[in-house]
Amino acid sequence: MSGKPNATACPGCGKSSNGSDRFCTGCGTALAAAPIPDASLEAAGTAIPRSPRPAEPQPVQPLTQAACRSDRRAPALPIVGVTILAVVIAIALYASGVFGSSGKSHPNVPSTATTPATTATVPPPSASTTTSTATNALPPTNPGPTTTLRTYLQELGSGRERAAFSSMSANYRHKNPSWVTEREEAHPQIKLISIGTANYFAGAAAVPVEFYGRDKFPSHGSDTQCRLFNGAITMVHVGSQWQYEPAASHLVAVVVPPGSANCPG
């Protein structure tokens, strides 16, 4: 051991060995490992960078039954949202097609669907109602109340009393059987001024009229004074014909001074 650097004594035989020997050359006993000279970069003053430790893997959590159910239900929310959006768009398109057409007929919707059906109350015919309304309500061959009244006055003023009598109501004819004879004796004179439009009500019509009238000859029940008649004559609808009903008529007679140019005869 004296002359060898880093000499090591064998624990078996005591023989000195070199510091680099790992076994005794005399007996073969294993020697203690000599320290290895520090030849690292750290000894030379150079720091060796340390590599970062790799991240430890996280433990995998086992899947539970609740997690599986939640994973399966998750896609249902987007599907429901898309479905609701599609329904809203369809309703908007339908509403714009039906209610946004400004009264125009939709090709698949009856024109009555765009206009709410309403029941209008039809007022009773006024005095401005035309006589064609009554004519249309009857067969075309039958005259209306205004035409019937005009014919009656023309026949009465032209000597056709019996024809005029037939245009009067059955009730009046039954109560006045001598009317034709008395009118023939008096020989009525009529000057028609105007006949207005019929005003219809239940089974009858009121016809406004204005005319001058007088009897030419004095007789039983005659009146030779000239008078202006103004008011409404009632015409009743019997079967398919209109008849004059004197008992329900409202005429006002005003005496005209003698010699008036409006008086007939």
Give residue 25's domain range.
Answer: 1-34
Assess if residue 148 is contained within a domain: yes
Q: Give the tens place of pLDDT for each residue, 48-105.
A: 455 556 666 665 555 555 544 544 554 444 565 656 777 667 676 665 554 444 444 3
User: What is the total count of domains within the chain?
Assistant: 2
Q: Could you tell me which residue, 33 or 258, shows the higher pLDDT? A: 258
What's the rounded Cα separation, in Å, for the pair 41 and 39?
A: 7
CATH number for 143: 3.10.450.50
* pLDDT above 70 as % of the chain: 56
User: Contact, 216 vs 253, CB < 8 A?
Assistant: no
Assess if residue 109 is contained within a domain: no
What's the rounded Cα separation, in Å, for the pair 137 and 114?
A: 32
DSSP 106: B
Question: In this structure, what is the dihedral angle of CA atoms 125, 130, 132, 134, given to the nearest 10 degrees?
Answer: 30
Assess if residue 159 is contained within a domain: yes
- Please tell me whether the overall predicted TM-score, pTM, comes out greater than 0.85 for this model: no
Q: Around 99, how many Cα atoms within 13 Å sit in the side-chain half-sphere?
A: 6
Assess if residue 59 is contained within a domain: no
Assess if residue 197 is contained within a domain: yes
Q: What is the mean pLDDT of residues 147-152?
A: 97
Assess if residue 92 is contained within a domain: no
